[in-house]
Structure 1
Amino acid sequence: MSKKDACIADLKTRVLTLALAPGAMLDEVSLSAAYGLSRTPLREVLQRLAGEGFISLEANKGALVSAMDFSAMRQFFQTAPIVYCAISRLAAENATMDQITALKAAQFDFTKSKGTQDAGAMALANHRFHEITGTMSANSYLIPAVGRLLIDHTRMSQRFYRGVAPQDSARIDQSAHHHDLLIDAISRRSAEEAVEITLDHWALSREDIERYVWPDPLPDDTARQET
């Protein structure tokens, strides 16, 4: 792997795992030193990451990790189920055997990380699973769309995979079960079933994503103080 490719892969991982916070500024001098890249190849790295939606390049500000503001979240919730369902339908129609094998491998990694309760590994394996379903669609319009959605979906899912309450563990188990069902539906070329599973999967994750966006309020001790 070249230095540029290694830099791209590492920065993607750092964005997806929130090691680089949404909206954080990326210092080109520090990045150049950390990855052993001169200015021109580093700029090429940043241009590629910007093209895929991991960062934004702004005049007079430089490179910033893609933000997750109210407008972005509203668009995410509007768009995600539409794109995910379209992807699943086309995946069932177009997936190759090699892609199905790769999907099973991603699911194996997800299940393995679930067993060790490695939240970061689970989030990345889940990202890879849905990234592969996007590739299965063989649709040049949808693949970039699902790739951009997955960046924010993966970042927000960090809380989901870090849950320690029994209900959180059960929801993660159910998510893994949905993956198995989706693999089976795609393997059998059952497009309608793949869409139904995708809708169930989206409903499962949506509630926890909403908890990320709108967390529980702080305890209100006002009433207690007045009594």
Structure 2
Amino acid sequence: MKATVQAISAPAGAEAPQDRKAVLAEALRRRILSMELAPGAVVDELALCDEFGLSRPPVRELLRQIAAEGYIELEANRAPRVAAMNHDSLHSFFVAAPLIYIATTQLAATNASTAEIEALKAIQVLFRQAIEARDVENRVVYNDAFHLEIGKMAHNDYLMPSLRRLLIDHARLGKIFYRHPTTDDMQQDLEVACDQHDQMIHAIEHRDPARAGQLVREHFELSRRRMAEYAAPQGLDVPIQL
């Protein structure tokens, strides 16, 4: 999928340049996760400068920052592009995701502070509301926020870059596979996933890394199975006439 970046609504008010840069960063991340900016889309630096009232140096600095996080790709003599998704990257995603999710969740159960656990509970409230409202957009956003918060709770600088990159593609995959109206069986799976979030919070709060790791393994398998069913659906049952 190729597309040129669409206009982003300029932030209201007369914020300081640093504030406008933060708003731009959040806008770009959200648009990439929501698939408003397709994988491979060109990011127009000049358009961003005009829309957010910034000069090119801070915009380029920001693009380098989110490139390091895995959201975009920077190459010499080429315009910045949204990180691609292809067969090889998706294969690597499904191989690596359980390892990273389990490691970060188990470490969170060991290292999380009380304040961090309360922050995770607050995100879970928003995720559950999105599930109940069948709100695809916020369901993807708050699921991403939930697992990113767990990564922060792990307090491991080596795992966070890998987790951030995984979550980008997990969010984009979720946007693709769950973009259609939610069926009853899909809604049931999502409610199970929401309950698993609650159980993960309980395991983390009670310092049970083994239970936390098992829960996140089951949680990812639920997601992987649904994605696999979308990619390889059962064929139509067509009678053969002889």
What is the TM-score normalised by the length of structure 1? 0.92
1:165 corresponds, among 183, 191, 196, to 183
1:17 matched to 2:16? The reply is no
2:61 corresponds, among 34, 39, 44, to 44
CA distance in 2, matches of 1:100, 1:85: 17
Matched positions, count:
224
Report what 1:110 is aligned to. Answer: 127
1:30 matched to 2:47? The reply is yes
CA distance in 2, matches of 1:67, 1:217: 28
Question: How many angstroms does 1:116 deviate by?
Answer: 1.7
1:61 matched to 2:97? The reply is no
CA distance in 1, matches of 2:118, 2:109: 14
Question: How many angstroms does 1:217 deviate by?
Answer: 8.1
Report what 1:206 is aligned to. Answer: 224
SS at match of 2:178: helix
Identical positions, percent:
35
* Structure 1 residues 169-208: aligned runs within 5 Å: 169-208=187-226
Q: Which amino acid aligns with 1:134?
A: G
Report what 2:6 is aligned to. Answer: none
Question: How many angstroms does 1:26 deviate by?
Answer: 1.0
CA distance in 1, matches of 2:94, 2:213: 17
Question: How many angstroms does 1:218 deviate by?
Answer: 8.3
Gaps of 5+ in 2: 1-17
Report what 1:126 is aligned to. Answer: 143
Contact between 2:134 and 2:182, CA under 8 Å: does it hold in 1?
no
1:149 matched to 2:166? The reply is yes
Gaps of 5+ in 1: none
Question: How many angstroms does 1:208 deviate by?
Answer: 2.2
Describe the superposition over 1:146-203 as per-residue Cα deviations: whole angstroms up to 9, x where unpaired: 1110000011012236452111000000000000000000000011000110111011
CA distance in 2, matches of 1:129, 1:43: 29
CA distance in 1, matches of 2:236, 2:53: 48
Contact between 1:161 and 1:172, CA under 8 Å: does it hold in 2?
no
Query: Is the helix fraction higher in 1 or 2?
Result: 1
Question: How many angstroms does 1:220 deviate by?
Answer: 9.7
Question: How many angstroms does 1:90 deviate by?
Answer: 0.4
What is the TM-score normalised by the length of structure 2? 0.87
CA distance in 2, matches of 1:110, 1:45: 28
Q: Which amino acid aligns with 2:116?
A: Q
CA distance in 2, matches of 1:162, 1:104: 28
Contact between 1:123 and 1:161, CA under 8 Å: does it hold in 2?
no
CA distance in 2, matches of 1:4, 1:103: 26
User: Which stretches of structure 1, 4 residues or longer, exceed 4 Å deviation after superposition?
Assistant: 217-221
